[in-house]
Amino acid sequence: MKLFFRKSIKPFAFVAVAGVLAAAAHAQTSCGSICQYYAQQAYNSVKASSAQQMTTYCNTLTDPNAKSACLASVPAYSEAQAQAAYTQTANQCGQTCHG
């Protein structure tokens, strides 16, 4: 009886493990898509708003050289802010998403 019991359990254990792995893979795929979407939305929003805010600030400068240098730094600044927002959003989403 013991031998029969052990042999009959193994296929069910395999099916259970396979089911858990499949569910985890689905959740990871689903979460990955969702998190990528929200991270991209954060990136786009932060890039636009930080560029606008920095440009507005630069335009208040009265020294032409300072203003020119400030405006030249806007693309790099807004890109850095957007990348940080993307990373933070993707990480937070990945930690909380359960598919």
The pTM score is 0.68
Confidence of residue 3 (pLDDT cuts 50, 70, 90): very low
pLDDT digits (tens, 9 = 90+) for 44-86: 999 999 999 999 999 999 999 999 999 999 999 999 999 999 9
DSSP notation for 48-68: HHHHHHHHHHHTT--SHHHHH
Per-residue model confidence (pLDDT) at position 82: 97
The Cα 88–Cα 82 span in angstroms is 10
